[in-house]
Amino acid sequence: MKITKDPKTGKWKLDVEITKGKRYRKTCNTKTECLEYYHQLKRRQADQEHYDRHDNRSLKAIVDLWYEGRGCELVKGERIRRILHSMADVLGNPEARKMTPKRFNDYKAIRRIKAQKGKNTIADSTLNNYLTYLRSVYNYLIAIGEINYPNPLAQAHKIKVQEPELAYLTRDQVCLLLATIEQNFKHNHLLLVTKLCLATGARWGEITSRKVHHFKNQQVDLTKTKGKRIRSIPLDEELYETAKEHLEAHGSFKCTRKGFAKAIKLAGISLPDGQNSHVLRHTFASHFMMNKGNIIVLQNILGHTDIKLTMKYAKFDPEHFKDAINLNPLAQLERQ
């Protein structure tokens, strides 16, 4: 510690290193003020070390703290808590402050071994999601002052995964699918939900949860969405009236994703692994851009909070990358 007086200003300057590599400097009117500030820093450091040394709460305990303050507000909060509890069990529920990137790598290795034995297969993208969940738990508790140590998973690396194939249905496949549903499924539930998803770009659950009061002013109101924002999408008059009459008669849409998967199979349509009803949302967005729709309008229709999520559909715009045809070296040779 060093306290010196500036001969020009008459003020006192404190220069002290409380912990290795971290210095504090302060200018005060008197030497006493400098000493008081120094002792304040010492007490703060002692309290911090005491807190860190005695914070032996388990991983499950801090997950529950996060759930009480933040997770319970999320649509998938309860599911995330179950996932993180399961992770803690696999790792022996260690002290939260002793969680490290290596320990998370151990968890990944254990899950992969189980996958090789044919149990509980897990994708790399799912493991990345789990890392994001756990990081968020630490970040939230740090932000509210519940824990005073750095996020132990801040340096953990995500697995680099192959970008998934963006599957969508062609116009002929859409016609084939609708005809197949009409011929093989009764009561019109599945057909209507499929048409509404294709007409609005809504997620399957956003449509199947609709009631008659969500249809008004020739549009459908999508509430309780993934982004927690209400979206109102206009509908063709015939589809709007058909959907409204159907809900007035039946009260709700009575169909499942399994039913849709069966319809896809009956139609002889092949989809990439992991794709099911979400192909309808991709189909809407892809055809929207093929027909020269505006990317910002598409973002609002789909309810994306980040334009980056919507940009993957930009490649379907006929003008997208059109210069590749005219500006490549072969085209230049031909012109010469």
Cβ of 211: how many Cβ atoms within 10 Å? 11
Listed as own residue / partner, the contacts of 73-76 with beta carbons closer than 8 Å and 24 or more positions apart are 75/224, 75/226, 75/228
- Whether 85 is catalytic is no
- Of 81, 111, 203, 287, which is the active-site residue? 203
**Dihedral angle at the C-alpha atoms of 136, 137, 138, 140, nearest 10 degrees?**
80
- Whether 313 is catalytic is yes
- Whether 23 is catalytic is no
Q: What is the DSSP letter of 214?
A: G
The CA-based diameter of the chain, rounded to the nearest angstrom, is 96
- Of 189, 195, 210, 281, which is the active-site residue? 281
The burial of 178, by beta-carbon neighbours within 10 Å (0-12 exposed, 13-18 middle, 19 or more buried), is given as middle
- Whether 282 is catalytic is no
Task: Give 5's strand partners.
Answer: 12
CA-nearest of 245, 216, 242 to 230 is 216
- Of 13, 57, 60, 304, which is the active-site residue? 304
- Whether 82 is catalytic is no
- Of 250, 278, 282, 312, which is the active-site residue? 278
C-alpha distance from residue 257 to each of 199, 224, 268 (Å): 18, 19, 17
- Whether 97 is catalytic is no
- Of 226, 262, 282, 312, which is the active-site residue? 226
Q: Which residue type does 30 have?
A: T
Active site residues per annotation:
203, 226, 278, 281, 304, 313
